[in-house]
């Protein structure tokens, strides 16, 4: 059960371990500034242990699991996530600060990602290629091996779903470094995955600072793919570090997202989306509305209605589940 999680430890090889350096960080509640708990301040030693554990999983039960078996495990993890949606939502609301309803939707999205990748696991195929007589030419899809996943604080569950979920579906073994501002759902998810039958070592979680645990993961010579979501500046550093080891990376580094309102728009239908695009997760979203472009003849009406809509919003602590929660820091 996820209530077995030890937030002040790392999950490595299926075991909760205190950080090798014996140091901890305070995890703060954005709603009131109080300390939720202490979390492990993982170091390069913890990352080394996690990578070693992932390699062991690839040489053990996880490495010989068929695509069909991996898909079934992911589907089962998805079902277990749905059983614990309320717990996951509460954890995310407490450490991210997002309203409960938004956090609950993120937990459901996590389950859906896992369901999707569970179904896709045995449907990624190689090819046969026509060639000269006497030759058989084909391509074979293989996992990268050990994959590193550095996820941000704004949507940890969703990004774990589409990053770790995809990697596990293809047979990789993962080392996950959640953001130090919000790591509780990552730790809970790892325990849920174990309960659902994911072999020990297939998913390891090391919390800590990006400049320490994150840097150790992105420069590790035995990590074969790195996935990162976050700032452009850090993304460049990770890309440079990965290049030293000739390791492929997947980077999601934010965006700009204007909303466009044309003269023939149905404003009754559009208005809720225009409002939500700016205030979801207190605006802490890579695709948050940065501006609204309105065709001239609707400008006054849109301005008036948006002003009224924003004036009706209620900001409150996350667990009160109003429209807008606090910023994470």
- Quote the crossing angle between the two packed helices 85-96 and 156-169, to the nearest 10°: 130
- 45-62 pLDDT per residue, tens: 999 999 999 999 999 999
Q: Looking at the structure, do residues 96 and 245 belong to the same domain, yes or no?
A: yes
Q: Looking at the structure, do residues 247 and 263 belong to the same domain, yes or no?
A: no
Q: Looking at the structure, do residues 225 and 291 belong to the same domain, yes or no?
A: no
Return the CATH number at 154.
3.40.605.10
Q: Looking at the structure, do residues 171 and 272 belong to the same domain, yes or no?
A: no
Q: 318 vs 30, 97, 101, 121, CA distance in Å?
A: 8, 5, 9, 36
- 327: in domain: no
Q: Looking at the structure, do residues 155 and 267 belong to the same domain, yes or no?
A: no
Q: Looking at the structure, do residues 25 and 156 belong to the same domain, yes or no?
A: yes
Q: Which of 252, 277, 296 is where one domain is finished?
A: 252
Catalytic entry in 252, 301, 308, 320:
252
Q: Looking at the structure, do residues 191 and 264 belong to the same domain, yes or no?
A: no
Q: Looking at the structure, do residues 164 and 120 belong to the same domain, yes or no?
A: yes
Separation between Cα atoms, residue 102 and residue 108, nearest integer Å: 10
Separation between Cα atoms, residue 87 and residue 195, nearest integer Å: 15
DSSP-derived secondary structure letter, 225: E
At residue 256, the pLDDT reads 78
Query: DSSP letters of 87-122?
Result: HHHHHHHHHH---HHHHHHHHHHHHHHHHHHHHHTT
Q: Looking at the structure, do residues 243 and 277 belong to the same domain, yes or no?
A: no
Q: Looking at the structure, do residues 309 and 273 belong to the same domain, yes or no?
A: yes
Separation between Cα atoms, residue 171 and residue 71, nearest integer Å: 10
Q: 305: domain range?
A: 257-320
Q: What angle do CA 143, 147, 148 make, to 5 degrees?
A: 165
What six digits make up the tokens of 127? 């090819």
What residues in the chain have per-residue pLDDT under 50?
A: 1
Q: Which of 252, 273, 301 is where one domain is finished?
A: 252
- 328: in domain: no
| Helix or strand holding residue 249 (H, E) | strand 249-252
Q: Which of 236, 252, 268 is where one domain is finished?
A: 252
Q: How many CB atoms lie within 10 A of CB 145?
A: 17
Number of domains in the chain: 2
- 94: in domain: yes
Q: Looking at the structure, do residues 248 and 297 belong to the same domain, yes or no?
A: no
- 41: in domain: yes
At residue 1, the pLDDT reads 47
Closest by CA to 223, choosing from 185, 172, 265, is 172
Catalytic entry in 37, 244, 286, 301:
286
Q: Looking at the structure, do residues 165 and 190 belong to the same domain, yes or no?
A: yes
- 57: in domain: yes
What six digits make up the tokens of 307? 């002003």
Q: Is 183 labeled as catalytic in the residue annotation?
A: no
- 329: in domain: no
- 3-21 pLDDT per residue, tens: 577 899 999 999 999 999 9
- 67-110 pLDDT per residue, tens: 999 999 999 999 999 999 999 999 999 999 999 999 999 999 99
- 58: in domain: yes
Q: Is 286 labeled as catalytic in the residue annotation?
A: yes
Q: What phi, psi does 157 have (nearest 5°)?
A: -65, -45
- 20: in domain: yes
């Amino acid at each position: 059960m996820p209530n077995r999680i030890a937030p002040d430890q790392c999950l490595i090889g299926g075991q909760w371990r205190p950080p090798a350096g014996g140091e901890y960080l305070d995890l703060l509640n954005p709603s009131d500034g109080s300390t939720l708990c202490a979390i492990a301040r993982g170091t390069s030693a913890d990352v080394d242990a996690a990578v070693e554990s992932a390699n062991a999983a690839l040489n053990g039960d996880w490495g010989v699991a068929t695509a069909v078996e991996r898909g079934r495990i992911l589907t089962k993890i998805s079902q277990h996530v749905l059983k614990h949606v309320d717990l996951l939502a509460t954890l995310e609301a407490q450490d991210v600060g997002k309203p409960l309803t938004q956090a609950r939707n993120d937990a459901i999205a996590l389950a859906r990602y896992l369901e999707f990748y569970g179904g896709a696991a045995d449907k990624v195929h190689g090819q046969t290629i026509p060639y000269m007589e006497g030759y058989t030419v084909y391509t074979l899809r293989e996992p990268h091996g050990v994959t590193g996943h550095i996820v941000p604080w704004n949507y940890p569950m969703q990004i774990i779903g589409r990053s770790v979920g995809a990697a596990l579906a293809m047979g990789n073994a993962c080392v996950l470094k959640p953001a130090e501002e919000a790591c509780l759902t990552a730790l809970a998810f790892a325990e849920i995955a174990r309960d659902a039958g994911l072999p020990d070592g297939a998913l390891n979680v090391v919390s800590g600072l990006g400049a320490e645990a994150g840097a150790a993961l992105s420069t590790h010579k035995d990590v074969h793919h790195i996935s990162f979501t976050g700032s452009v500046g850090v993304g460049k550093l990770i890309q440079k570090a990965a290049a030293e080891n000739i390791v492929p990376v997947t980077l999601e580094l934010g965006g700009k997202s204007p909303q466009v309102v044309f003269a023939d728009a149905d404003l009754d239908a559009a208005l809720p989306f225009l409002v939500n695009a700016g205030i979801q997760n207190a605006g802490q979203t890579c695709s948050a509305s940065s501006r609204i472009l309105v065709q001239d003849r609707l400008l006054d009406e849109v301005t008036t209605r948006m002003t009224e809509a924003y004036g009706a919003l209620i900001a409150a602590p996350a667990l009160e589940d109003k429209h807008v929660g606090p910023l994470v820091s």
